[in-house]
Structure 1
Amino acid sequence: MLVLACCVCSQPAYSSLELQEVVPPLSFMLFCTQYPDDCQEQRDRRKTVFRSRGQRWRELNLINSTVNSGIAPESLSVSRNDYDWQIFPSAGNCGDYAVTKRHLLLRSGWPSSSLLLGEVTIRTTGEHHLVLLVREGRALFVLDNLSGIIIQLNEALDNYVFLRTESDLNPRLWTRGLTRS
């Protein structure tokens, strides 16, 4: 019993258990069938145009606000199908917002390894929700249709419990919890 306790207690806070591969959401698998290019690994093409950190931050904010204002919000109960994510529909749910932001950033040259979809539970309501995680340098930011501002991950952890996220190693794989690399 003591040996078992030592093994369990000696695991780091973010152990390999948290990075365990899990089945992607059904919505994601259907999305990849409809939009296969958005589910392929894409390299960083931003370096070839020498964009500054400030330019990248402005681009993130512009895409976040454009998508948040360009799609009319629909609750999951009203939306066409909560599992049918689409790029830039006229009205949609959290999945539509997240994949549209990811799509636009991929087209702008961001690498797929920096743009991770994340399924979360909202702490206050218990509702399942989809957000986009964006890695910029060492920082990780959350783009959410429920917020007009981009927030850092450590602030988002007060609002969300991360259930599973897209892997930064392969856009078609998902991991339990939050990817840490």
Structure 2
Amino acid sequence: MGKNTWIALFAVVSTLGACAQNDIRPTVRISPPIAPESTAMAEATVTMPPSGYLDYCMRNPAECPSSARDATHPEPMTPLRWAELDRVNTMVNASVRYVTDASLYSRQEYWTYPNGRGDCEDYVLAKRKMLLDRGWRAETLLIGVALDLEGLRHAVLIAATDKGDFVLDNQLEQVVAWQETGYTWEKRQTAANPNIWVALTGDAAAPEPFEAPATQPILVANAHGAESKPEVGTAAPAHTIRQDAEHAESTPALFASTTDAILTIPTPKPRPLLTARPVSADTFSLSYTTETPVIDTAERGGAINGAS
């Protein structure tokens, strides 16, 4: 049995706060028939995901798979794909009324599918789901975070294509190239793994894939945020995480229900385990181990208590 390697880290996790929402800019509602020119976004070092994303993944593990994905093939941009981006962006922006998480859930940050109301990350989740239903691959639809024109932290959906990266934004009527937003870019998911986030430099880069680690981390936590430690001599079974119906969020008919969702995660060999445990409202303690973990099944839905 190999020796466990534990590294405790304390990291301040960014929150979107009230989430930016300005009036839709008065642009002419005529989208070009083909996508404009864009480039890929330059990625820097690995960074922490938003705290709201961590909380969302604990409540909905099936939405945040840890398996490696093919990051070498951006979505081919065709007139049909461009029309889908434009239509989905328009539909969600028109059908969802902006309301803050504080007003809806009495929490600073709570990621979920919108039920007619929501804030920026809720628009993002809805647009992502609709594009997935239209055949877009998950590795080409990335959640990004930036400071908007008012200096407010803001979440958008980034579509990675062979013509560059494009932004679907609840503050913009049209889908635009990322460099046309005027935003200060902070971070986004990687195409290789949605649970690995990287800082953004704000520069353009050649469309090169993010190099995923040989083994992928699994992000887990139990209902109390306790660390899941390995047991000596335990084989690597398939682990099941059950989402308690009592804590399952309400999902509109437009989207697949998450109530009683069951996710089976195969672990055929040891892999690094990343465990996030909240220390305060905006601080998490992270622990890594190289041993095969035995996941402590979350009896109460696996939510991170106190995360915003």
State the TM bucket, normalised to the shorter chain. 0.7 to 0.9
Q: Distance in 2 between matches of 1:42 and 1:97?
A: 26
Asked if 1:106 is matched to 2:132, the reply is yes
Q: Secondary structure at the match of 1:83?
A: coil
Q: CA deviation at 1:43?
A: 6.9
> For 2:119, which of 60, 85, 93 is the aligned residue?
93
Higher helix share: 1
Root-mean-square deviation (CA), in Å?
2.6
Corresponding position of 2:200: 177
- 2:45 corresponds to: 20
- Residues 67, 101 of structure 1: 8 Å contact kept: yes
Matched, 1:161 2:184: yes
TM-score between both structures, scaled by the size of structure 2: 0.46
* SS of alignment partner, residue 28 of structure 1: helix
Q: Which runs of 5+ in 2 are unaligned?
A: 1-40, 71-75, 209-308
Distance 1:28 1:98 in 2: 12
Mean alpha-carbon deviation: is it higher for 33-42 or for 166-175? 33-42
Match of 2:161 in 1: 136
Contact 1:38/1:103 (<8 A) preserved: no
Query: What do the CA deviations read for 1:117-137 (whole angstroms, capped 9, x no partner)?
Result: 111111x32111001110122
- Structure-2 residue corresponding to 1:66: 91
Aligned AA (1:112) = A
Measured in 1, the distance between the counterparts of 2:79 and 2:53 equals 31
- Contact residue 162 and residue 178 of structure 1 kept, 8 A: yes
Shift of 1:112: 1.8
Q: 1:105 to 1:82 in 2, by over 3 A?
A: farther
Q: Contact 2:77 / 2:162 at 8 angstroms: preserved in 1?
A: no
Q: Distance in 2 between matches of 1:101 and 1:127?
A: 21
Which range moves more in the overlay, 137-146 or 26-35?
Answer: 26-35
Query: What is the number of equivalent residue pairs in this alignment?
Result: 157
Letter in 2 for 1:118: G
Q: For structure 1, list consecutive stretches of 5 or more residues without a partner in the other structure.
A: 1-13, 45-50
1:4-19 matches, within 5 Å, as 19=44
The equivalent of 2:141 in structure 1 is 115
Report the structure, 1 or 2, having the larger strand content: 2
1:91-148, CA deviations, whole angstroms, 9 ceiling, x for partnerless residues? 11101001111122122221122111111111x3211100111012232101000011
- Name the SS for the 1:141 alignment partner: strand
Identity %: 27
- Report if the CA contact (8 A) 1:43-1:110 is conserved: no
The answer to which of 168-177 and 101-110 deviates more is 101-110
Residue 177 of structure 1 aligns to a residue in which SS?
strand
- The reply on whether 1:83 has 2:106 as its aligned counterpart is no
Specify the alignment match of 2:63 in structure 1. 38
Question: How far apart in 2 are the matches of 1:43 and 1:65?
Answer: 29
- Partners of 1:176 and 1:134 in 2: CA distance: 17
Does the 8 Å contact 1:82/1:93 carry over to 2? no
Structure 1 pair 178–110 and aligned structure 2 pair: CA distance change class (3 A): farther
